Structure 1
Amino acid sequence: NFVCCLRVEMFVFLSVPLKSISVQLHVRDHVASVHSSLQYVNEEDRPLEAMFVFPLPADAAICHFSAKIGEQEIVAEVQDKESARDQYDDAVSSGQQAFLLEESDESSDVFRLSVGCLSPGQNASITIVYVIELSIQVDHALRFCLPAVLNPRYTPAASAASVPEVSSACVIPYTLSLSVDVRSSDRISRLESSCPLDPLEFLDAQHTHAMVNLSAGHRFDKDVELLLYYENTHRSTAVVEAGAAAAQSGSLMGDPALMISLYPEFPAEVMSSLASQREFVFLVDRSGSMSWKMHHGKGAQKRIESARDTLLLLLKSLPMGCYFNIYGFGSCFECFFPQSVVYSEVTMEEALRRVKSMSADMGGTEILQPLKHIYSQPCYPDHPRQLFVFTDGEVWNTKEVLDLVKSQTFSHRCFSFGIGEGASTALVTGMAREGSGHAQFITGTDRMQPKVMQSLRFALQPAVDDISVDWTVPEGVMVDMLSPPISALFQGQRALIYAQIKGQVKAVNGLIISSLQTKYNMSIILCVSVIKKNCCAAWQPLLTPILCFILNCCNTCFTVFCINADPLSELISDGIPNLAITSLVRNLITVPAPRSADGTASTHLLNRSMITSIYLLPCTLEPEPRMDPLLRLVSLQKAAGCWELNAALADVFGKTEDEVTNHRPAQVDGSVWATVLALIWLRAYKLDQRVEWQFVAMKAASWVRSQKPDGLSQCVCEGNMLLGSQVTEDALGI
């Protein structure tokens, strides 16, 4: 997270001065401090004033920055931005050594480091320390990511004028070492990574302290992702950090700090009393980069394909009676419906039809205008708006976007998803933070669907609000809240409270009792032991003299090469027949082209006199990959929750329609039989993907109950015989 990044395409011929990165990760329960040391050398034959760009997580808090050149070490101090720039300029102009670290005006997850007067052959050592909360994943793991796509590049300061783009590098010229130290009040279950690690070493008998290192020889060509698992994920905990010994008592650093982690569980009667419908708005990135693969492994989907599958799952999981709409955005935007519509069989099928044709064909990434359009739409009474945002990029006006989301805090919740390596942490985490929602990142071989369905679960849950926090502490002790007031709590969604303890604390290992009071007259009592211690989909610009496009003639696909003077042998193998298609080529040939950068469609006209010869090559189209069986089953479900008994459903089960029909109990309706079979199949063969189909199954079970059918027990028995399973009737929830 501390490597430097500048536009690769602009500076590909410059040497890269970064030689090594050493990262030490210290995890304390849900918070991590990251110590990064970077070693640079000026390999130019002249003095250099260089600029390094450090992408940092948007919600990171930098607590230390220092730089060392030779024997001289400079430790940073916080100053007003303009004052710091003036002092830096004065130092450089007078030939003094100086450093300037500042947050980018354009994006809160980019820091610029200006280095003045780096002599030829001179080494520089940069140290940065920051603290960050670890995000929670679908399986309750805590996630830390050191992204490889933010690779170091540098340029003379005068050439860096804007937020650098995120680009993946093919050649990694520096070394990386990473060590992880974990201490927790809970037992550590395991630590996993997308990269090879040395064996996890436990340093105490209770398994609350462990260490691990990144294996030697790691090639930093993909994100280093760490997933930390604790045994008692949902237990509320509190951690106290003692004040600094050298600091004065009563000062910010001198008094102990407290972090309370809450996983609220509310009574069922409270949750049911708060139940309400929702309006769901899905905003999907359709810029050109969404045609890229999700990862570099075998069988990887394109990002837009994964987004389409996810929308299918979302649309099938929505409850009857809600409102919904889908937006696609790039350089421009479009919406499926003029305004959100009631969820029904008709509107769902119309939306699915349009989802199937969604492509990454809308140019750049401009999210501000579609957001303004969404927020301009009136909200439906008793249907709180839930906004789901899917994007793989970053935008130039991040702060303006976040200000807009923040201005709508009380009218909606925002759930954001960063797709692929390089998605802007400032944009993705910022939108979720300002929209009181949840942010997720889908990288490497992660599947998008389970993470999105976790957020849907959060979006469907009612919020418990009007929360007050009272502290019961010994006499002479006060508690000052450091974090913003909690505006809402959601069942099963972690909330952190930070506070500082002031006054005489006689026992560090004492007992703290905290009471959270809500307007529903519920008290959540927390008693805890206190412990120390982020050709291609869009054609390349048409090149002269070669023009390549596709003709569809007689349902056969041909690739057409239009050649001026270059010999065909440079492009295609010998022996290709020259087909006479004069009748197809009039005086003007219209060439379909992709959308231009501003999102508008364009057409190129080629005069026939420009063409020397035209060759048609039969083109073998790759067959469409067969849809995943789970998605095939989900795609067949009706909006109300049931399935119809037909050949398509039988094929999902690996049966013929006759086989499925002949096993149906006589007294059971065909749709009830089909729906029970679907529920059995999900339980028997897709239990490991339950997060993805949980709402589909809930709708189905609810529909079966509403039919009040006879012979359900026999139906389940026959279904198990047909599908070769042993699922109980109770497990189906029918």
Structure 2
Amino acid sequence: MMNCCGLITTQKEPVPLKSIEVQLEVRDHVATVVSTLNYENKEDKPLEAVFVFPLPGDAAVCHFSATIGQTQIVAEVKEKQQAREEYDDALSSGQQAFLLEESEQSPDIFSLSVGSLPPGESASIRLEYVIELAVQADDGLRFCLPAVLNPRYEPQERVGSGVQVTSVPASLVPYSLSFSARVSSPRPVSKVESSCSLDPLQYLNTEQTQATVKLAAGHKFDRDVELLIYYKDAHQPTAVVEAGQASAKPGTLMGDPVVMLSLYPEFPQSVMSSVASCGEFVLLLDRSGSMDCLTNDSEGQETRISSARDTLLLLLKSLPMGCYFNIYSFGDSYEHIFPKSVEYSEKTLEEALKKVEEMQADLGGTEILEPLKHIYSQPCIPNQPRQLFVFTDGEVCNTKEVINLVKKNSGSHRCFSFGIGEGSSSALINGLAKEGGGHAQFITGTDRMQPKVMQSLRFALQPAVEDISVTWDLPKGVSVTALSPPITTLFQGQRSLIYAQLTGQSSDAAEGCVTVKYSLAGHPSQNQLHFSLKPEEDTGLTVHRLGARTLIRSLEMEETDDKGQHDEGVKKKVVELSVQSGVSSSFTSFIAVNKGNNEPIEGPLVRRDVPIACECISPRVMIMKFCSFEELFKSDLRARESGFNVPKQPHKDPLLQLVSLQKASGCWLLDPALAAALGKTSEEVEKPKPSAEVWATILALIWLHGFKMDTKEEWELLAMKAVSWLRTTISSPRTSVVAILLLSTIFSDNFQLPKKINTTNFLHNDSKS
């Protein structure tokens, strides 16, 4: 059931939010975002404007103020119930008041109430937050300004408890957006990309370490604004020490210096060159109605569910022999292909692929909690580490409950999560991966799902890092208090952040050292970072606020009782930390009251819900959102009778055609289907050959290396499996290499084999073979 998220038109009532201005400042991998929301009441009665909108789930909201005429009112952070009472009291007495609250169900949804805006009056609301930028598969740093807040599915037993959201199609959003960004880093900025049109990047110095960029004219706030920022030599460990707030008491979080360490562990090549041949891979696919949306706004593109099916094909073909797997799908209910995970074989693979090909976005809402409970109820298979892959567009409202469940079971598995499309919940996607010891990915705009999923599969096939510990070497008289939770997972080349409070005195010339020790494939390893204890200037308490946010999130994720209630001691600690640092939490709110307004505002107060963009919704999805299953069935019949056809599945591209023909063992069969996938006739491929399967597999590998190098990250694992099969099958290595050299006659003239492949190393590790 959807919770007050119907599609409405703006003609029914005026909307007082007129424009949003956003200024982004990026320093290395940390961003400060300042949003100004401009309101105007054109009605003849006082208004209360309520705007429910998304923010990144790990953002630290640290400033909230309102300007009316020449008067600025800066909000304070207070315990949530106290703030609500002050807001209600202010409205009752005719005063202007402003309330900003974080949702108790999900930390990426906020509610802003602008109370008692008189007729003809304007108000500007200033909201500021800081956030760490996530590292993408191609080493870009991702910033996302959420514009789309999808309807959040609410489980049946919780209906009425969630936040109230008013949504309109993106084309009807009545307010505009202006967006500009300034980027600075110790390393040169190589490029900035976006899913939206940008004006050209402007460098501010000759070293190209500072640059500005802004949205091109004419942008409509109808989709998320995503920036990808690329630096040269991005994988450099860094340390930032920030001085405490002068007005704060020494010994407190805000009064002491705080250090932020950014580490990029490098694992021994001997370990990384091997790929695990075991594991239990559980794939959990969202089949709710919204998965029937297009992957982007371009006409003729595939839907999310069809892209997910193609991705599952690639993922399943890339799994190693000897592993176990199962596939779950969910909506209002859930299904699984096998009663329990089965061993990976040609038979089980074919059975799974048939079921995957039939999967549609036809299971209604997005109830992810129950399938997760069922997965965790299954006993783990000895010596087969469980790896959970979750694919969803993230439209749930019980986010914290879902993440808590993953956290409770984190000792038995790693969780890799994928947010699909605009409006997916960053709190859910990031939370699943963080608490599940895995990795999160977002697929938006024109992104292809396949390369991002295959990167996560490579992470899953890496040996699990165990016995992780962090030790500090600091000058005498300086002690350290960790603000970050213990590191539970490390991946090759992926960033790990550590926040810590430093108490005591030291000279500006003093240095500290942090050592991360761990065990990898049974071998002890470590990474070290030396750093200066001299505080950096002009950091604006950004590091303190991010450290406070990290600690607040850790406390909020602590155990709750059967009713989901926190211990009063934990709640008190969060409130104290939130008030001290000025950073939002689920137990506090920002409250601002205009006490300088002497004359009370008269007249009945009218509430106006400001709509936010939801995605372009297909007729089928719209039917699913507002009809029962019986009505959906009948409307489907009526639609088909009236000539409305469900879009046909797009044809698979040549790569996916070839992948679909690979066997579980890694080989291909020499048949007309393979010839068609390679773009050749049966006669052209049936040349003299060592054996049919060997020849077919060599043909497929040569085609991949010759024509699909631009998508190598997608097929690399299944190619490794094919090469492994060849190594165990071919009895005469010299014969096979000669056969490979002859293949260039089969393909087009522009296929330059010697430049594409080192043939002497193609099948064998020993270059002399």
Tell me the TM-score normalised to structure 2 length: 0.80
Corresponding residue for residue 68 of structure 2: 69
Partner Cα distance (1:118, 1:515) in 2:
55
2:745 pairs with 715, 718, 721, which one? 721
Q: Distance in 2 between matches of 1:617 and 1:172?
A: 31
Q: Residue 680 of structure 2 aligns with which residue?
A: 655
2:455·2:713 contact (CA, 8 Å) conserved in 1?
Answer: yes
Q: What's the counterpart of residue 218 of structure 1?
A: 219
Q: Please report how far the alpha carbon of residue 170 of structure 1 lies from its aligned counterpart in structure 2 after TM superposition.
A: 0.7
User: Aligned to 1:692, which of 695, 706, 714?
Assistant: 714
Q: Is the 8 A contact 1:149 1:168 kept in 2?
A: no
**Pair 71,7 (structure 1): closer, same or farther in 2 beyond 3 Å:** farther
Q: Does residue 525 of the first structure (1) align with residue 524 of the second (2)?
A: no
Deviates more, 1:472-481 or 1:700-709: 472-481
- 1:410 is aligned to 411
Deviations 1:351-400 (A, max 9, x none): 00111111111112111111111111111112121111111241232222
2:93 pairs with 1:97: no
Contact 1:104 / 1:163 at 8 angstroms: preserved in 2?
no
d(CA) in 1 for partners of 2:648, 2:91: 62
Classify 1:499/1:624 alpha carbon distance in 2 versus 1 (closer, same or farther; 3 Å): closer
What per-residue deviation string (whole Å, max 9, x for no partner) do you get for residues 246-286 of structure 1? 55555433433322222212124555899562111111111
CA deviation after TM superposition for structure 1 residue 449, in Å: 0.9
Residues 113-167 of structure 1: CA distance to partner in whole angstroms, max 9, x if unpaired?
2222111111111111111121222211111112332499xxxxxx997342665
| Residue in 2 that maps onto 1:503 | 504
Measured on the aligned residues, the alpha-carbon RMSD in Å equals: 3.1
Amino acid in the other structure paired with 2:42: E
Question: CA-to-partner distance for each residue in 1:217-240, whole Å, 9 max, x for gaps?
Answer: 333333221100111122222233
User: Partner of 2:178 in structure 1?
Assistant: 177
Q: Percent of aligned positions with the same letter in both sequences?
A: 57
Partner Cα distance (2:226, 2:496) in 1: 23
The amino acid that maps onto 2:21 is S
Give the Cα–Cα distance (whole angstroms) in 2 for the partners of residues 7 and 620 of structure 1.
Answer: 24
Q: Deviations over 1:589-611 (max 9, x none)?
A: xxxxx999676798769xxxxx9
Distance 1:217 1:10, change over 3 A: closer
Aligned to 2:106: 107
- CA distance in structure 1 between the partners assigned to 2:643 and 2:360 by the alignment: 25
Q: 2:417 and 2:113 mapped to 1: Cα distance? A: 33
1:239/1:341 Cα in 2 relative to 1: closer, same or farther (>3 Å)? same
Q: Higher mean Cα deviation, 180-189 or 296-305? A: 180-189
SS of 1:489's partner is: coil
For 2:244 and 2:270, how far apart are their aligned partners in 1? 43
**Deviation (angstroms), 1:201:** 2.5
- Structure 1 stretch displaced more, 691-700 or 716-725: 716-725
Q: Of 639, 646, 657, which residue of structure 2 is paired with 1:632?
A: 657
The alignment partner of 1:488 has SS state of coil
Aligned pairs (5 A) from 1:177-576: 177-244=178-245, 247=248, 250-270=251-271, 275=276, 277-507=278-508, 511-519=511-519, 520-527=523-530, 532=536, 538=620
SS at match of 1:501: strand
Q: Does 1:642 align with 2:667?
A: yes
1:117 corresponds to which letter in structure 2?
S
Deviation at 1:620, TM superposition (A): 9.2
Compare relative contact order (CA 8 Å, sep 6+) and give the higher one, 1 or 2.
Answer: 2
Q: Which residue of the other structure, out of 680, 685, 690, is the alignment partner of 2:702?
A: 680
Structure 2 residue identity aligned to 1:523? Q
Q: Are 2:25 and 1:26 equivalent residues in the alignment? A: yes
Once the 2 structures are TM-superposed, how far is the Cα of residue 214 of structure 1 from its aligned partner?
2.2
CA 1:275–1:297: 2 relative to 1, 3 Å: closer
Query: In structure 2, what is the Cα distance between the partners aligned to 1:635 and 1:351?
Result: 12
Name the SS for the 1:506 alignment partner: coil
Q: Which blocks of at least 5 consecutive residues in structure 2 are unaligned?
A: 152-159, 540-613, 765-769
Distance 2:532 2:674 in 1: 54
**Structure 2 CA distance for aligned equivalents of residues 256 and 227 of structure 1:** 31
SS of residue paired to 2:106: coil
Q: Deviations over 1:39-81 (max 9, x none)?
A: 1112221011232223111111111111222333322222211
Tell me if structure 1 keeps the 8 A contact 2:56–2:146: no
Q: Which moved more, 1:366-375 or 1:391-400?
A: 391-400
SS at match of 1:457: helix
- Give the aligned residue type for 2:436: G
Cα distance, 1:73–1:512 mapped onto 2, change above 3 Å: same
Distance in 2 of aligned mates of 1:102 and 1:596: 29
Q: Say if 2:54 and 2:147, in contact at 8 Å, map to a contact too.
A: no
Equivalent residue, structure 2, for 1:587: none
> Using a 3 Å threshold, how does the CA distance of structure 1 residues 618 and 411 change in structure 2: closer, same or farther?
closer
Alpha-carbon offset, residue 487 of structure 1: 1.9
Q: How many aligned positions are there?
A: 660
Instruction: Report the alpha carbon displacement of residue 92 of structure 1 after superposing the two structures with TM.
Output: 1.6
Map residues 96-175 of structure 1 onto 2, 5 A cutoff.
96-150=95-149, 162-164=163-165, 167-175=168-176
* CA shift in 2, pair 1:620/1:470, >3 Å: closer
Contact 2:390 2:416 in 1 (8 A): yes
CA contact (8 A) 1:166 1:422 kept: no
